[in-house]
A and B are shown apart, each in its own frame.
Chain A
């Protein structure tokens, strides 16, 4: 009970406050802009050659304002914004008019989540395992080589890594498909052909995310393990003749895992943004690809919807990680 009162309730309050502030910012930001999205859209339509008479222009502007929730005073708009948000209604999309934005996002969310969770898990486990071993055996040759590779890979942004992976593994050596989430004509189903096609299409985006994510975990874990390694209890175990492998896994890496878990929570927003960028490059049918389409067609509602969903997704995942944390650390039992 004390756990609920002292940790769960304040943490939940903080969660709601941060989500609320973030969503409010998402509401305020586009309204701070000097440019009017409605006016811009109509100018764009006219630039493409659509003949719009002055009366029609007025009517269109009114309809669009209503669609975008830009009618009335700022306060009224804000109330409408929250009402719509709570009923998961972001209005219709322009890009696939009149399909509601929430439906488009709902269709692409599983793709992103699937890609994101598998690659985050793989790169976290792989990075920590190899980083831990490299930190423990830091005097050997191979950790130094890996360290050098990590120092070359670390600063390169997702976009460039994705670009290079695409050029080399899809154009130069066409091993993997160029774009898409599943082969043309193949339906998502639970059979061998569909799964094979799914995996083949996911391979390159996943590879990109794992390459970048792995390096971050590797470097951090290696540093932590090197510190833990010089602790007295490790030297004691060594003198007592405990095998190196057992010390590395049971004594050192286990202890060093915990800061990494917090790190995962903190960097989740970045990983998420990276996944969006990767999806754009590989035309993977997740949120990132939808965002790309929305930008090309200036689909304001869809972008707002994606922004709100991502804010909620990021704050929620950080909350979950925070609450799960004591399960892994016997020293942090909420008392």
Chain B
């Protein structure tokens, strides 16, 4: 409880938390949508915002507000799949490399380092082009993104495990007969979770951004499934700006900007909370 109260003292966390709650509410509202997001021509085309259609309607006769609820839900789903799976890979690789050391460490880390030097964006484009049909599903795109996002965190976790391995309590546990698995889960994981949680949020934001960029290229998700990316892409493709339907294109852009800012602020105040030195640095105090 004290943790939560401390976090809310930071205005950024409070604001970001509010925005995230709003966005989650939007995502939940999608369950009550009166329209099916896949069908077109359910409303008059291109109406400006009004009481009946809070964010107007698209040129395809869809209600922007209800479309947006589905988009937010689907984008969050991709982000959560991508970030959780990639964190799992990062923990496994990082702990293995750090704990085993030697040849395992060297092989795992050089694989990770090479994925870091790869221009991931171009690789993602290539892979999702070859696997065009496969990545059209939400879950598959999440998995694909997860596969390219673990390397940096694995490195961080490895360095932490390296230092934990030398601590007193490791020797105590090993000498008192604790198995490696139990040692890692019971003793190491609590140390690793804060880092994992902060990077999880950063990774979610990366995954949402990548999904949008891939959608712009016509890769990634099936365009008839609304996500923030496909919604923007559809609006561009149907010339929303030339038609003057600004509410069609600006609504998903505004929603995603809010989401990005909120996620960033949460991760910022969390990492400052976890590392008080960073907080002191920010306000310019002496260390």
Seen from chain A, the residues whose Cβ lies within 8 Å of a Cβ on chain B are 18-19, 21-22, 25-26, 29-30, 33-35, 37, 40, 135, 138-139, 151-152, 154-160, 163-164, 167, 171, 223, 226-227, 229-230, 269, 272-273, 276-277, 280-281, 291-292, 295-296, 298, 300, 303-304, 306-307, 310-311, 314-315, 318
| Chain B residues whose C-beta falls within 8 Å of the C-beta of A37 in the assembled complex | 130
Question: In the complex where A155-B263, A269-B119, A273-B119 touch, is A280 in contact with B127 (Cβ < 8 A)?
Answer: no
| Chain A residues whose C-beta falls within 8 Å of the C-beta of B219 in the assembled complex | 295
For window 158-203 of B, CB contacts with A under 8 Å fall at none
CB distance from A104 to the nearest CB of B (A): 15
| Chain B residues whose C-beta falls within 8 Å of the C-beta of A292 in the assembled complex | 217
**What 0/1 readout, one digit per residue, does chain B (230-260) give for beta carbons within 8 Å of chain A?**
0010000000010000000110010011001
Asked if B209 CB lies within 8 Å of chain A CBs, one says yes
| Chain A residues whose C-beta falls within 8 Å of the C-beta of B263 in the assembled complex | 155
Asked if B205 CB lies within 8 Å of chain A CBs, one says yes
Contact B127 A277 (CB under 8 A): no
7 smallest beta-carbon distances between A and B, as pairs: A155-B264, A157-B209, A273-B121, A21-B114, A155-B260, A310-B119, A33-B130
Contact A229 B257 (CB under 8 A): no
CB distance from B254 to the nearest CB of A (A): 10
Residue from the list B113, B119, B123, B281 in contact with A29, Cβ < 8 A? B123
**What 0/1 readout, one digit per residue, does chain B (265-287) give for beta carbons within 8 Å of chain A?**
10010000000000001101111
Contact A157 B118 (CB under 8 A): no
Q: Which residue of B lies closest to A229 (CB)?
A: B284
| Chain B residues whose C-beta falls within 8 Å of the C-beta of A304 in the assembled complex | 126
| Chain B residues whose C-beta falls within 8 Å of the C-beta of A296 in the assembled complex | 217-218
Asked if B77 CB lies within 8 Å of chain A CBs, one says no
For window 95-135 of B, CB contacts with A under 8 Å fall at 110, 113-123, 125-127, 129-134
Q: Which residue of B lies closest to A33 (CB)?
A: B130
25 A–B contact pairs at CB < 8 A?
A18-B113, A19-B117, A22-B118, A26-B123, A30-B130, A33-B130, A35-B130, A35-B133, A139-B284, A151-B261, A152-B261, A155-B263, A156-B261, A157-B209, A157-B212, A158-B213, A167-B241, A229-B284, A230-B285, A273-B121, A276-B122, A295-B219, A307-B122, A311-B118, A318-B117
Asked if B12 CB lies within 8 Å of chain A CBs, one says yes
| Chain B residues whose C-beta falls within 8 Å of the C-beta of A315 in the assembled complex | 117
Contact A273 B122 (CB under 8 A): yes
CA gap between A80 and B252 in the complex, in Å: 46
Contact B129 A295 (CB under 8 A): yes
Contact A33 B131 (CB under 8 A): yes
Contact B253 A164 (CB under 8 A): yes
Q: Per DSSP, are chain B's interface residues mostly helix, strand or loop, or mixed?
A: helix
Asked if B17 CB lies within 8 Å of chain A CBs, one says no
Most chain A beta-carbon contacts within 10 A, residue among B121, B263, B286: B121
CA gap between A175 and B125 in the complex, in Å: 32
Contact A230 B287 (CB under 8 A): yes
| Chain B residues whose C-beta falls within 8 Å of the C-beta of A40 in the assembled complex | 130, 132
Residue from the list B113, B232, B260 in contact with A163, Cβ < 8 A? B232
| Chain A residues whose C-beta falls within 8 Å of the C-beta of B116 in the assembled complex | 269
CA gap between A37 and B132 in the complex, in Å: 10
Contact B126 A29 (CB under 8 A): yes
Contact A22 B117 (CB under 8 A): yes
Contact B216 A159 (CB under 8 A): yes
| Chain B residues whose C-beta falls within 8 Å of the C-beta of A160 in the assembled complex | 209, 212, 253, 256-257, 260
Contact A269 B117 (CB under 8 A): yes
CB distance from B60 to the nearest CB of A (A): 20
CA gap between A229 and B280 in the complex, in Å: 13
Contact B117 A18 (CB under 8 A): yes
Contact A273 B256 (CB under 8 A): no
| Chain B residues whose C-beta falls within 8 Å of the C-beta of A281 in the assembled complex | 216
CA gap between A332 and B140 in the complex, in Å: 47
6 further A-B contacts with Cβ under 8 Å, apart from A35-B130, A157-B260, A277-B121, are A29-B126, A35-B132, A155-B205, A230-B286, A303-B125, A307-B119
Q: Which residue of B lies closest to A272 (CB)?
A: B119
CA gap between A111 and B260 in the complex, in Å: 30
CA gap between A295 and B256 in the complex, in Å: 25
Residue from the list A159, A276, A291, A306 in contact with B212, Cβ < 8 A? A159
| Chain A residues whose C-beta falls within 8 Å of the C-beta of B115 in the assembled complex | 25
CA gap between A135 and B283 in the complex, in Å: 10
CA gap between A276 and B124 in the complex, in Å: 13
Contact A298 B122 (CB under 8 A): no
CB distance from B20 to the nearest CB of A (A): 13
Residue from the list B117, B131, B132 in contact with A311, Cβ < 8 A? B117
CB distance from A265 to the nearest CB of B (A): 11
CA gap between A315 and B256 in the complex, in Å: 33
Question: In the complex where A26-B123, A37-B130, A151-B264 touch, is A156 in contact with B257 (Cβ < 8 A)?
Answer: yes
Q: Which residue of B lies closest to A276 (CB)?
A: B121
CA gap between A160 and B233 in the complex, in Å: 12
Contact B268 A151 (CB under 8 A): yes
CA gap between A141 and B16 in the complex, in Å: 24
Contact B119 A295 (CB under 8 A): no
